[in-house]
Structure 1
Amino acid sequence: MQDPRLPHLFATLHVLHYLSKDPGLGLFLNASSSFELLAFCDSDLGICPNSRKSVSGFYVSLGGSPISCMSKKQTSISLSFAEAEYRSMRRVVTELTYLVHLFQDLSIPISLFVPLHSDSHTTIHIAKNPVIHERTKHVEIDCHFVRQKFLDGLISLLFVPSSSQLVDLFIKSLIVPLHHSVLLKLGFVHLL
């Protein structure tokens, strides 16, 4: 019987190996006075080989500097790509709702209609469509939440091609050139 801590040990060693290969890599934060939020979300359907649960991720920046990101295995198995993507979208919309309220409490003016980028035409269509289809009933609460925030003017939904999806860095293995390209877009630079 395999020790249950073994996968975590391998993951830790993998991260340490990655970090040791490029110790001069750092995150550069802009000194911009812009208070524009920008969000990306994505998921990878059934990526976990043991449970077949999907992994969701999102990335939020303020004035071009990253302020929030997350990558997490979903709590239940998604039955379709659209369901996995929609759960990811709900997570980032929840985060954006929290951030907007936080900035309002701090009297920081935030531009609403926060651009939310997804690489799923289907998910964007479901969010914009006021009719819940029979095949989306299992994610109906997520649909209503995202659609309500869309109608309230908190978010605007924009398509981004998979090749420009920043969240892929957090949820998928990328080929080296694409990995480095996404790191640059996220604001990582060589400090040494």
Structure 2
Amino acid sequence: MFDLPPPQVLDHALSSAVCAAGHMPERLLIADMHERNSKPRLWALDLSDPQHPQVVLQTWVEHGSGSDPKHTGYASVFGNQPDSQMTSLGLYAVGERYRSIQYDRWSYQLLGLDKTNSNALVRGIALHPSKFVTATHQDFSEGCAAVPTDALPKLEKAWGSVSGTYLYIDGKGAPVRTCAAYPHWPTTASVVWQKPKNVCTAGEPS
């Protein structure tokens, strides 16, 4: 049995996703960077019945090494600058799938939809698997959302594809959006794969 994200984290994620999509999305990924990296702090939610959200997957996700300079397991600082190796907070659109050269596995590009993560595409920020992320061992990323190697195949089996969904990364100082404040947000999470200038996880499009 999986637990739902903390109520405040869930509220932040839903508010941002509804503003971006213009309606309640049927699927949503949420990462809670208030939690230590040893906790399974990433959720994949089925929201087809908004009154009864279902957890499809709960797993581990890493934060950037720059967000945890003392390597305590807690992300304490967040940033959006290239080469910072920090995690960026806010809402992302999950883009196209591509083959990661480093990991020889399928990954997904992330497009930042907030000022706090607007450089995600330039930085090469991705949702990607890592053999260094397991139930018994956690590591640090270069700012990407790195998950266990079996996480994305499980999601693809359940959803067919992760492309077209949203990922909200919550943490101290994360933007909480209202639709009135952001009337011109994208109405789709479809992202065309582009080769980033700086690479967190290099690869080629699917």
**TM > 0.5:** no
Give the TM-score band, short-chain normalised. under 0.3
Structure with bigger gyration radius: 1
Which is helix-richer, 1 or 2? 1
Normalised by the length of structure 1, the TM-score is: 0.26
